[in-house]
Amino acid sequence: MIIKDPISATLTEEHAEFMSRLKETAGALYGENRKITDGSYDRSLAVRCVNGTFVGRRAGDIIVYRGIPFVGRQPVGELRWKAPAEAVPDDGIYEAFYNGKCAPQREIEFSSAYVQGEDCLYLNIWKADDGAERRKPVMVWVHGGGFEIGGTADPGYDFLNFVKENPGVVVVSIAYRLGVLGFLHLSHLPDGGEYPDAQNLGLMDQMAALKWVSGNIAGFGGDPDNVTIFGESAGAGSVSLLPLVRGSHRYFRRVIAESGSPAMCRSAEEAAGITDELMKALGCGTVAELQKLDAEELVRAAGDVVLLRGLPERDGRFLPSETFDAYADGAARDLDILAGCNREEMSTWNGSMGDEGYTAWAGDLMEKKLARLTDEEKELVEGFYRDVTGERREKLRSLLDQIWFTAPLLRTVENQAAAGGRAYAYFFTARSGHGGELTTVLCHPEMDEAAADETFAKIIRKMWVQFAETGDPSLPEDISPDGRPKEWPPYDLTGRQVMILDESGIHPEKEAGGKLADRDRTYFLTRHYIF
């Protein structure tokens, strides 16, 4: 079940019944991987890693490994709000049959219906059992969910179909801490000095997973020197921010960001203010008092206070204080980047919240954004708003599309190109809405009542795989699913070509024919990030 937005679920009786049914389904899939001590296991399915030998399961021609820990100790007890512990050598042999627990989160969709726990730092691997001798490109998936929900247990993030169709890659999905357990500023509290990393632990977990992949993926047939990180929504925000982390480039060469950008972060001042709101709601004054609360209570309180504001922090230490400037200064020039977004992204929020709820929520966001602008800037934004055809909800949808998605997309690829790096941009128009591309990209037509044309979908996936392998998503005719070449030009400051991904025709257009950012009236808003 893919998506979605972490603000749409309300605690209605109908939702409670839905979650109850979903818990039955998700609970039936849960199991605990055991240590194998009697020597009874299939050696052909076993891979020796630094922290143990892991035994997977065969699914036809694909071998799947689930629930492999990528840290030495799980972040529970005294390790809550601490940096991930590095994996340690282990000679044990373990099952890798079941997904690990999902990070604590509000109950909204499949991942939150699965078993939750703070001991959640695990990864999954899919590889084709095809006898290939060469090491294959590796694609590491980072799930979305507003940095508050989601997990690797979601069936929509299962890559069995993807690898069956594209056996030339090895795919990994990784978990990370979410919400107040993964992104909570604590250092300004009286005893907060002991928790200097709490504001970016989710990203640190991702780095720990990538380090594990780098050191162990060769045993699964993957090439540690050809790793692509890719993700959607918060996952795309993550893979856009990770290139800015010092030392990260040793673990990956390429980035695919679907509907997310370096704008998905907050300042240290904003983060500290949100923490203060949470502390007041909980009646706590110190981290020691927070430590006495269980994860469920923390998540419940945060759902009312933090909602969608628990983002990674531009702390000037782990992440730069200005992420777009870092791209412009060449922080990622040695990486290949493919980034894009969908038509009418905000329609997903509108559809799930209803017109009245969406208009109230989006209108509040707009007013807060305008309050930060000069009078001249306000007039530009208000002019754009007035010119959008339709009722207030359409105007707000269009404006938030610009602020959250299209303008940050263009600024990212523009800064990357200006710095001498290689970037490719796309605009997915085959479906509208946030997450509208997921069933197509991740090969789950069975989850979509209006699934994309099969050949079109195969072309999209082949482009993603071709980019992961070569750094160029263009398809020569001999590997293009429809037998026709697909030339995808890099984004540059002259042509400004964006690939239109539409079932009626895949083709490049200059800045998507003007369908993306309004350069005169909204593009400048990227200076203020998304909130």
Please list the active-site residues: 233
Residue 247 near residue 177 (C-beta atoms within 8 A): no
Structure tokens at 20: 């109850």
The dihedral sign for the CA sequence 401, 455, 228, 51? positive
Return the half-sphere exposure (C-beta side, CA atoms, 13 A cut-off) of residue 485.
6
Q: Are strands 46-49 and 497-501 parallel, antiparallel or unpaired?
A: unpaired
Spell out the residues 6+ positions from residue 22 whose beta carbon is closer than 8 angstroms to its own: 1, 109, 110, 113
Q: Are strands 122-128 and 93-95 parallel, antiparallel or unpaired?
A: unpaired
Task: Looking at 446-527, list the stretches that DSSP marks H as alpha helix, in order from N- to C-terminal side.
Answer: 454-470
Q: Are strands 336-343 and 266-267 parallel, antiparallel or unpaired?
A: unpaired
Return the half-sphere exposure (C-beta side, CA atoms, 13 A cut-off) of residue 22.
19
Residue 521 near residue 380 (C-beta atoms within 8 A): yes
Going by the DSSP 8-state scheme, the letter that residue 433 receives in this structure is: S
Spell out the residues 6+ positions from residue 108 whose beta carbon is closer than 8 angstroms to its own: 4, 6, 8, 9, 19, 149
Residue 31 near residue 98 (C-beta atoms within 8 A): yes
Residue 299 near residue 307 (C-beta atoms within 8 A): no
Spell out the residues 6+ positions from residue 367 whose beta carbon is closer than 8 angstroms to its own: none
Displacement of CA 501 from its chain's centroid (Å): 20
Residue 70 near residue 123 (C-beta atoms within 8 A): yes
The residue with tokens 């357990």 is 181
